[in-house]
């Protein structure tokens, strides 16, 4: 029978993963079971006495508690029980957590003479406990330091857990001052009742309340605005404990948003008025362009000269324009200009240039002096305004009686002409660049003349045409314009310009012009 009991004991100890030790008080020897030796990492012959040599085997931080517990168990008429958890230095140098238990047996005088106990490695459990404690600490640190209000409430909506943020918001000195209280202790009746109603609904439906914006009513304070998220609070088994939530104060955001809404409405009203003014200004600007260009012609017994134009502004207020100036029965002046930029600023410069053109009308028969006078006036205006702007321009005088085309360029591309089905761009001033209008005071401009007998078709254009880019950022280029004009020489002038515009749009990345485009063309037809 005793053998069976011993077997059962050994099986139980093996199942519990515990080893057994047996020590006679005062002796240096100690007996370990096979599993105890395995836990300690020693063979029986060299196994140290963990009780008497604790100072060499246990962690120094655990020694005081171990010795106190051991002394209490061994004291005369003491408590008999040794129970201690401590760190043990394994022979491989690592620290293992051990749970050491023992019970003392005493002689008739009550003195402890023997102690028998168990030992088990609890390192994994301790590691899990440390990890759990660390996780709880991190969670608490997050709750305490996150700049939002975090709280847990029981089924009666009483605070159970709260962080420092909500304590401060509710006027409590510490989080503990909130525990056991409800929203009715802090808010007005209406808001507190609504909060309680929401929490009852959440607990009954188990459905959360996510990112709800609410207005808070306080006793004796201004109302505030918060964004609330509340959820049902369940334990690990799904049992309802109450609710928990996060509340963020968005009062400043709401006030700012309301101010922005008011400002936005005011800006919208102003923008509508501004758009209307821009539309009116654009209509006026368009009205100032010469009308019915196709109906203008210069005729004599030798030749007939006809004209056409295309105008495509990139915005409401454009910086490109052209002007036709009748000079006599046999001659007209053509001014084509491209002001830097777009919009209102460019349109103001356009208005200035129109005024300067009228002022310089007396010199309109001389292209170089005409541009010189306009430049002087524009430079003077811009210097007084401390503004840096410029405009490129070309001015042509077509004299049908003398059979000449005279022109001057101010930083502007020269005309493209087609003659005997060959096209080329003219090269003014021996190919040297000329300054744009508005940049250099006292600038001079050269004048070039071409016989009308050497022109079948001529094109003036702004850079919005040849600088249009495709998806690869490649410009269409002047060469493409030149070849298109040559290939369409047998077409009517109107069709030729439409073809040119169409090809430019096809080349554009999105089929639209990013810059203003202004074209002016003429055909010279000899009469038999």
Residue 67 CA: distances (Å) to CA of 72, 101, 106, 112, 364? 8, 13, 19, 15, 116
Predicted pLDDT at 9: 56
* Superfamily for the 2-127 domain: PAS domain (3.30.450.20)
**To the nearest whole percent, how much of the chain has pLDDT over 70?**
92
Predicted pLDDT at 332: 96
324 — pLDDT class (breaks 50, 70, 90): very high
**How far is the C-alpha of 335 from the C-alpha of 410, rounded, in Å?**
11
Predicted pLDDT at 425: 94
What's the mean pLDDT in 115-143? Answer: 88
Other beta carbons less than 10 A from residue 32's beta carbon: 22
Find where tokens 């207020």 sit.
Answer: 317
Predicted pLDDT at 10: 59
Fold of 290-526: Phosphatase 2c; domain 1 (3.60.40)
What's the mean pLDDT in 221-247? Answer: 90
Q: How high does pLDDT run on average in the chain? A: 88
**How far is the C-alpha of 516 from the C-alpha of 513, rounded, in Å?**
7
Which of 451, 440, 459, 434 minimizes the C-alpha distance to 368?
A: 434
DSSP one-letter code for 326 = E
Predicted pLDDT at 145: 78
Domain spans in the chain, listed from the N-terminal domain onward: 2-127, 148-249, 290-526
Predicted pLDDT at 316: 66
Same fold, 148-249 and 290-526: no
Exposed/middle/buried for residue 422 (C-beta within 10 Å: 0-12, 13-18, 19+): exposed
Question: Domain 148-249 maps to which CATH number in 1.10.1740.10, 3.80.30.20, 3.30.450.20, 3.40.50.20?
Answer: 3.30.450.20
Question: pTM for this structure?
Answer: 0.52
142 — pLDDT class (breaks 50, 70, 90): confident
């Amino acid at each position: 029978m005793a053998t069976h009991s011993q077997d059962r004991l050994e099986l139980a100890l093996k199942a519990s993963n515990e080893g057994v030790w047996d020590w006679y008080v005062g002796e240096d020897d100690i007996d370990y079971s096979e599993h105890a030796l395995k836990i300690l990492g020693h063979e029986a012959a060299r196994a140290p006495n963990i009780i008497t040599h604790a100072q060499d085997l246990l962690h120094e931080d655990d020694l005081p508690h171990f010795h106190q517990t051991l002394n209490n168990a061994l004291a005369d008429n003491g408590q008999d029980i040794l129970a201690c958890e401590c760190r043990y230095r394994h022979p491989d140098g690592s620290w293992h957590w051990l749970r050491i238990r023992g019970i003392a047996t005493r002689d008739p005088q009550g003195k402890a003479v023997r102690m028998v106990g168990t030992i088990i490695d609890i390192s994994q459990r301790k590691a899990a406990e440390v990890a759990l404690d660390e996780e709880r600490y991190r969670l608490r640190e997050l709750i305490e330091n996150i700049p939002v209000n975090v709280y847990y409430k029981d089924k009666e909506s009483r605070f159970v857990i709260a962080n420092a943020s909500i304590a401060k918001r509710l006027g409590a000195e510490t989080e503990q001052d909130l525990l056991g209280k409800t929203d009715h202790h802090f808010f007005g009746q209406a808001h507190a009742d609504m909060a309680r109603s929401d929490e009852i609904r959440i607990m009954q439906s188990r459905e959360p309340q996510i990112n709800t914006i609410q207005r808070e009513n306080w006793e004796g304070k201004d109302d505030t605005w918060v964004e609330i998220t509340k959820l049902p609070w369940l334990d690990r088994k799904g049992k309802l404990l109450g609710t928990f939530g996060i509340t963020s104060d968005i009062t400043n955001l709401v006030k700012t948003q309301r101010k922005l809404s008011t400002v936005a409405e005011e800006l919208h009203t102003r923008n509508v008025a501004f758009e209307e003014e821009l539309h009116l200004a654009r209509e006026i600007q368009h009205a100032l362009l010469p009308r019915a260009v196709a109906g203008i012609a210069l005729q004599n017994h030798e030749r007939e000269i006809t004209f056409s134009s295309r105008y495509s502004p990139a915005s409401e207020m454009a910086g490109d324009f052209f002007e036709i100036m009748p000079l006599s029965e046999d001659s007209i002046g053509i001014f084509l200009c491209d002001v830097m930029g777009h919009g209102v600023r460019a349109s103001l410069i356009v208005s200035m240039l129109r005024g300067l053109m009228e002022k310089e009308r007396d010199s309109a028969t001389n292209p170089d002096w005409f541009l010189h006078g306009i430049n002087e006036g524009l430079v003077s205006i811009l210097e007084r305004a401390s503004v840096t702007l410029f405009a490129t321009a070309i001015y042509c005088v077509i004299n049908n009686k003398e059979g000449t085309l005279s022109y001057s360029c101010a930083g502007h591309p020269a005309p493209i002409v087609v003659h005997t089905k060959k096209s080329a761009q003219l090269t003014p001033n021996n190919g040297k660049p000329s300054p744009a209008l508005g940049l250099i005071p006292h600038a001079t401009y050269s004048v070039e003349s071409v016989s009308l007998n050497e022109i079948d078709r001529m094109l003036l254009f702004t850079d919005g045409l040849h600088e249009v880019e495709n998806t690869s950022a490649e410009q269409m280029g002047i060469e493409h314009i030149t070849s298109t004009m040559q290939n369409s020489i047998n077409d009517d002038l109107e069709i030729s310009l439409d073809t040119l515009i169409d090809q430019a749009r096809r080349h554009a990345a999105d089929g639209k012009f990013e810059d203003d485009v202004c074209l002016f063309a003429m055909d010279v037809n000899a009469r038999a």
